[in-house]
Chain A
Amino acid sequence: RKEVEQDPGPFNVPEGATVAFNCTYSNSASQSFFWYRQDCRKEPKLLMSVYSSGNEDGRFTAQLNRASQYISLLIRDSKLSDSATYLCVVNMNTGFQKLVFGTGTRLLVSP
């Protein structure tokens, strides 16, 4: 089983749509969880951390289910500028920050 697994997509959605990304991780001892956004040939940029209670930042909502080892990201009212690859990232917490990345889910928002 892959350490962090995501549907690669692409997800093609119209502007204004709601889209959800899912991610599973294999190490039950993982402690920290993140969603990063990556534009083509650019560095990953932190979108949001994911907490057990779930958290929201504007149009973005992240959820964590530790029992199922499952993380989700919901984007409401999609904008053209949301087009990017969304990376599910897990900190394996081996003492220092060792992030394990999923392969990413590509989102294309069209007019």
Chain B
Amino acid sequence: EPEVTQTPSHQVTQMGQEVILRCVPISNHLYFYWYRQILGQKVEFLVSFYNNEISEKSEIFDDQFSVERPDGSNFTLKIRSTKLEDSAMYFCARNTGDSGNTIYFGEGSWLTVV
């Protein structure tokens, strides 16, 4: 059973369109993360989100990206004006909150920009 549920599992979008990827935690957690993995490349950190605020973001996470938790449950990643190079698997992740602070990943949303 996944730690978090992500939707959609796969989305194809045209270049320039906006995309919203969703993450629903199984239980109530405060720490969330978005990572991405371009096909054939390593997993990269995008942003961490704590208590409804961005706590840290990478250089990749520019103005094209935004995150929010609009209803206190779903955690969303919005990508505006998508580009071909945004094609990747996007993983939502959460902390266990224990002393090891282990991170568990959702099953991912595969985004294809055409």
Chain A residues with CB under 8 Å of chain B are: 32, 34, 41-46, 49, 87, 91, 94-104
Contact = CB atoms under 8 A, between A and B. Distances in A.
B48 A44 contact: no
Interface string B31-58: 1010100000111110010100001100
Given A41-B89, A96-B56, A98-B56, A46 B44 contact: no
A98 B58 CA distance: 9
A43 B101 contact: no
A56 B104 CA distance: 20
Nearest to A101: B43
Interface of B: 31, 33, 35, 41-45, 48, 50, 55-56, 89, 91, 95, 100-108, 110
Contact of A49 (B35, B41, B91, B102): B102
A99 B42 contact: no
A91 B93 CA distance: 14
Contacts of B48: 96-98
B91 A101 contact: no
B77 to A, nearest CB: 15
Nearest to A44: B105
B102 to A, nearest CB: 6
A45 B3 CA distance: 11
A46 B33 contact: no
A103 B91 CA distance: 16
B45 A98 contact: yes
Contacts of B42: 87, 101-104
A97 to B, nearest CB: 5
